[in-house]
A = this chain, B = another copy of it.
Amino acid sequence: MSAEPRATYRHGDLRAALLAAGMDLARDGGPDAVVLREATRRAGVSPNAAYRHFADRAALLAAVSDTAQGLVADRMEDELSAAPDPPDAGTRARRRLRAVGTGYLGFAQEQPGLFRAAFFVPGDLSQAFSPAKAGRAGRSPYQILSDVLDELVAAGALAPERRPGGEFLAWSAVHGLATLVLDGPLRGLTDELIAGARERLLDMVDRGL
């Protein structure tokens, strides 16, 4: 889709094409690989054309980041759907919180480039609840986490006075571990070892929230 010149002068949906190209670049290479000129090249368009749809490279990267966060949300929703449904509401809610963390960390392992693009872009977490970051189900990763914490309170598994700010505790733990797996001492470990670390970390959150 890049070699032959377009039939029409107009492209059709250049914004979407640039975003798709940006996603491809991010997939193998992370945020630094999202290069404006290369994205236009892949879309079969001159470099400047990008500026009709994105203010600058940072804007394109932000769009890529938002889209990638949507994929993370999907991965989390998948894990939620697959989670078993124990009868007791409390253990069910706690199980669902684990599923959310598992989905987040699973995505980090399976799609390191996109994960980096999603969460290692300075400032792009500031409006974590923006609908631009939502997945198919319409919820952003933060919203999913937030909702599961509400379930925890509703099920009586988390004291209401501990609820406020719970997102920050849970997210901190899980995101920190993702960093260790991607760039730190846990890099390159076998899936089993990483799964072990994950379970221990989720235990910590479960116990300490």
Q: Name A's B-contacting residues (CB within 8 A).
A: 30, 120-128, 142, 165, 168-169, 171-177, 179-180, 182-187, 196-197, 200-201, 203-209
Min CB distance A84 to B, Å, is: 23
Can you spell out 23 A-B residue pairs with CB atoms less than 8 angstroms apart? A30-B122, A121-B183, A122-B182, A125-B183, A125-B185, A126-B185, A128-B184, A128-B185, A165-B200, A168-B185, A168-B197, A168-B200, A169-B204, A172-B174, A173-B204, A174-B176, A175-B176, A175-B180, A176-B179, A179-B179, A204-B205, A204-B209, A208-B208
Given contacts A142-B185, A203-B208, 6 further A-B contacts (CB under 8 A): A120-B120, A125-B180, A125-B184, A172-B172, A172-B173, A204-B208
Which residues of chain B have C-beta atoms less than 8 A from A172's C-beta? Answer: 172-177, 179-180, 201
Q: B126, A197: Cβ atoms under 8 Å?
A: no
Stoichiometry, copies per complex: 2
Q: How far is the CA of A165 from the CA of B207 in the complex (A)?
A: 17
Q: How far is the CA of A43 from the CA of B176 in the complex (A)?
A: 36
